[in-house]
Amino acid sequence: MPHFLKAIILVCCIWPTLSCAADNYGTHPAALTVVDELVEQEGFDREALLQVFAQAQKKQGILDAMSRPAEKTKPWYAYRGIFLTDKRENDGVEFYNMHRKELERAEQETGVPAEIIVAIIGVETSYGRIMGSYRVLDALTTLAFDYPRRAEFFTRELKSYLLLTREQGFDPTELKGSYAGAMGYGQFMPSSYRAYAIDFDGDGVTDIWNNKTDAIGSVANYFVEHGWRAGEPVVFPAAASSDNLPLTTFVQGRSGLKPERSIAEFAELGVTTTAEVEPQALATAMKFELEDGFEYWLGMHNFYVITRYNHSAMYAMSVYQLSQRLAELIDG
């Protein structure tokens, strides 16, 4: 049994009022089901798991955050203003310069541009400044056991979390993240951590909370595993024959992000680009609202890969434009 789990058991036995209070998930029926499954399917120690769940606390603030009505989607001109700021650009250049060696190695080994990696970390956590203050254990148990609408998803993530902490030798009661359980510099959910996070510095531990080298390599690997094509373009500026083209021509919300129409087909529909690109190349068309009018873009395969991080065309465009600004500043 790992030493940290033995320690938890000892604390609970000696001072039960401190760590095994009633307001926890130690005896919750759904938690006991998870314990049974992890014991039977993954070989966990039952007593150790029970003591971990006895440390998990329901957090009403997490439920409140998840249950707030979704805000109306901001128009592009307002959305991009959140991420494309002088501070985020300057901090990105500083992050790049501090970790140039690791970023250049990641780019060389994976083909993912260093500026894309930095931009993701910048958009997700302001380069590690805002990684979340909730215990991941509290976030995932609260949402798995007291948020019925997405209980199945968060139960899977909770299991993944307990598996990853066992695999890496982490104390599951200590790691912190967002109110939804996203973790580290790149805000990986536990299942994404297990699938894509890597030990990029070779020290035997994959740490995306404190080890920036691992965080950089893990973001790059996420893109590789989602099909990033080294050296290929991301997006092209476009023009529309009319601002009133059918909405079905363009990406709508989370749908239509995958390139399925060719550049030639879009030209027939009224969306064209002057860039040099093969007519048969597949793309997606985007229409973004400006304060006065609209702007148009054609996203290629690598743009779609960025949306695998967050299923939003505006998110992906913000990441891409921040990356381009960072590249200009670094080269300059």
Active site residues: 124
Question: Tokens in use for 100?
Answer: 């140039």
Calpha distance 201→217 (Å, rounded): 9
Q: Which residue, 137, 227, 145, is CA-closest to 190?
A: 137
Q: What are the φ/ψ torsions at residue 10 (nearest 5 degrees)?
A: -60, -45
Query: How far is it, in rounded angstroms, from Cα 185 to Cα 219?
Result: 9
Q: Kindly tell me the burial class for residue 313, based on how many C-beta atoms sit within 10 Å of its own C-beta (0-12, 13-18, 19 or more).
A: buried
Q: DSSP H helical segments within the chain, as ranges? A: 3-14, 16-19, 29-42, 46-55, 60-67, 76-83, 86-98, 100-110, 114-125, 136-146, 151-168, 190-196, 212-225, 263-269, 301-307, 313-331
